Structures are given as C-alpha cells and as structure tokens.
Amino acid sequence: MCEINSNYLKLPGSYLFAGIKRRVDAYRAAHPDAKIISLGIGDVTRPLVPAVIEAMHAAVDEMADASTFRGYGPEQGYDFLIDAIIRGEYTARGIEIDRDEVFVSDGSKCDVGNIQEIFSADARVAIGDPVYPVYLDSNVMAGRTGEFGPDGRFAGITYLAGTEENGFSPEPPKERVDLVYLCSPNNPTGTVLDRAALTRWVEYAREKEAVILFDSAYSAYIREPGLPGSIYEIPGAKEVAIEFKSFSKSAGFTGVRCGFTVVPKALRRRDNSGKMQSVNALWLRRQCTKFNGVCYIVQRAAEAVYSLAGMKQSREVIDYYMGNAELIRSGLIGAGFEVFGGKNAPYIWWKLPAGLESTQFADKLLNVCQVVGTPGVGFGPGGEGWFRLTAFGDRAETAEAVERICRASLI
C-alpha cells in the first residue's frame, strides 16, 4: 500500500492565512451587513502601474503574431528581464552579479519553500521566531524536524528569538547550524537588519560553512539611508548566501506572480563524500527539472518595472502604502498602544498587554471593530502577545479601521 509522507501530519492545523480566511468567511456569513476591513493578509490593493500594463498589452500583441509568438522560454528567465534585474537591483547598489546567477520564478514564496530540496535531509535549520511560516513548514514537510511540542516549537529546529529587547535582530547561535533563514525587512515585525547585524551573520556562515537563505522581498520599502537592501552589500556574502526578491509587494504582482532568486557561483558546499559542489549548478538542475519558466507576458511586465516610468510609478504606489503604515502607527501610538515596524516595511507589529493571547485578540478585533488582523502566534511562539497589521489596504478604509480601533474598548 502506498503510504503518505507522515511529516505533513506533524504540521498543526492549517496554513496561517488559510485559517484566517475561514474565520472571516464564517463571521461574514453570520453578519452579512458588516463592513469588514482587512489589515490582515499582506495582499496589495492598488492596480498595476501604467508602464507595466502597457508592457503586458504589447507582449499580448506579440503572442498574437506568428513572427513574434513565444513558446517555452528559458527556465532561468529571459535575458531581457535578467539584465533589467541586475541593472535595477544590483548595479545600482555597486554589486556585480552575472546573468547565470539570477533565476526568475513565479514568486519568492515558491523559491523559499523549494530551495531546501537541494540540501541534505539532516541539515540543521535555524529559523527566526517570529517569522514567515513557510520557512518552517517546508522543512517540517521535508523531514528535518522532530515532533511539534507543547511549547509550540518543533524538536530539531534552532529558533532565533527576535524580541523587543534585541530589537527583533537575533544573534547567531552558539551551536553550529547548516541553513539559516533571515528575513529583512522582516515579516511580521517590520524591522530591518542593519549592516553590522548582517556582517555578523555572514561571518558566522563563513566560519561554520553554513548557508544563509536571505528573504529580501520587502527591500523596496526601506527608507532609512544606510540600511542594506541586499545581503550582497556585505563583503563575503556571495560565498555564503542565497537571496530571494519579489515583484509581489514592490510592483503589485501578487496576482501576476513573478520573483527571482540569486544563487552566486561562488557559493559551494560539500557533498556526503566531502567534495565541493556548486549550489548554483544544483539549483539550475532543480529548476530545469521541476519548473517550466515564467510566462513571457509576465516577464515583459516585470522588465517594465525597471524602466524610468515604471520605477517612478512603482515608487508612488509604495509611498501610498507607507502612508497607510504611518497612519496606522501614529493612530495606535496616539491611542496609547506600543508598536514597532511601519517605517521601512509595510507591517506594523503591535504589542498586546501582558496575558492577552493574540488569537483571542484577533477574534475580539473582528467582533468589536469588524477589522481583520493577524495573530502574532501564527508566526511562531515568539509572536504570542503580538499582533500584525498590514498597510496594503485602501487609504480611506485604513483610516476608518484605525478610527474604529482607537475608539473601541479592546483592552
């Protein structure tokens, strides 16, 4: 008899955001006249910018003409998009990246979840707490953990505590780990690892021969000068780090799907015989086997993000969302609450009073204010006692949600 992968059974409940949707749907069914405002799931609401739409229209016209029609494209991405990515993301930061180090994909979530496949099943994994749940869940599915414990943690995982005391910037662990997931700007805390912190992590990875999996999907939201927007700004990072970036939040591609991963050729690690192997070559082999490339129309749209018009228009949309973030921040602070984030990322990390569970608070916020947020415990046990709000909503609705929260008796 065929048996299922029992590692999937270790995962508690459903995926975080699917569970939130079910709870909101149930509330909406019971209260059909309620005006529910979502500051929960981090989905964008502003339309694609004109430069992107124009590029998509032109690409659609190309697909209608036999002389310009495109079939299967290169699994790694078309050169025109890879060149635009290098120019817009790396050359502008003084970083040299080769074409064959960039892998275009249908979004960084897929790459972040799939990258672990090319590393050994017994690799020791370090994951931030709290942090985006895909990092942990994909390693549970791969069998790198023990069972889920009563403390909300999986055996066999090194948890990196991001706390108010350490500025949500965890230090490298004393023990050796093989894979380290870092997210900056961080989801959910909205905080950014500074140059000194990233340098410590690069030095740790070089010393321990670890690999850093660096999720930089929100780098376009960094506003403070001097904060790194790529881990490759740190000397030596190409020998230890893989970087993931996305068009989802920087250019509104959540419904279009496009991102990219950079795997430097300088990154090499040992196989079980001790021989050094190219991580770049292994990821290329994986992608060619399991991925058929991103649609040509979408890649032309992504290329347009780096045009002069596309960069200006995308920046205006980011400014809009960061205006929402400031509105939420200032409103909650004015009402006497303590919050973090919202300055270099579209997430606000709301500190709840001692003893108040975040899931219970989510239910109360929905019932009292008809506002949806995300309980911090969904990002790991270190998120208990915290609550995440997003700035991706409509401006008027965001203002109304903040007004409802501030005038309600929630605590």
Phi (first) and psi of residue 61, to 5 degrees: -60, -40
Residue 104: which residues within 8 A CB-CB, separation 6 or more? Answer: 76, 77, 78, 81, 82, 85, 258, 259, 260, 293, 294, 299, 302
Residue 17 predicted with pLDDT over 80: no
Residue 18 predicted with pLDDT over 80: no
Q: Which domains does the chain have, with CATH numbers?
A: 6-47+310-407 (3.90.1150.10), 52-307 (3.40.640.10)
Residue 41 predicted with pLDDT over 90: no
Q: pLDDT tens across 114-165, in order?
A: 999 999 999 999 999 999 999 999 999 999 999 999 999 999 999 999 999 9
Do the strands 37-38 and 371-372 form a parallel or antiparallel pair, or are they unpaired?
parallel
Please state, in angstroms and rounded to a whole number, the distance separating the CA atoms of residues 269 and 230: 22
Q: pLDDT tens across 69-115, in order?
A: 999 999 999 999 999 999 999 999 999 999 999 999 999 999 999 99
Residue 62 predicted with pLDDT over 70: yes
| 3-state SS assignment for residue 31 | coil
- Please report, as a single letter, which amino acid is at residue 161: A
Length of the chain: 411
What pTM was computed for the model? 0.96
Q: What does pLDDT average to over the chain?
A: 96
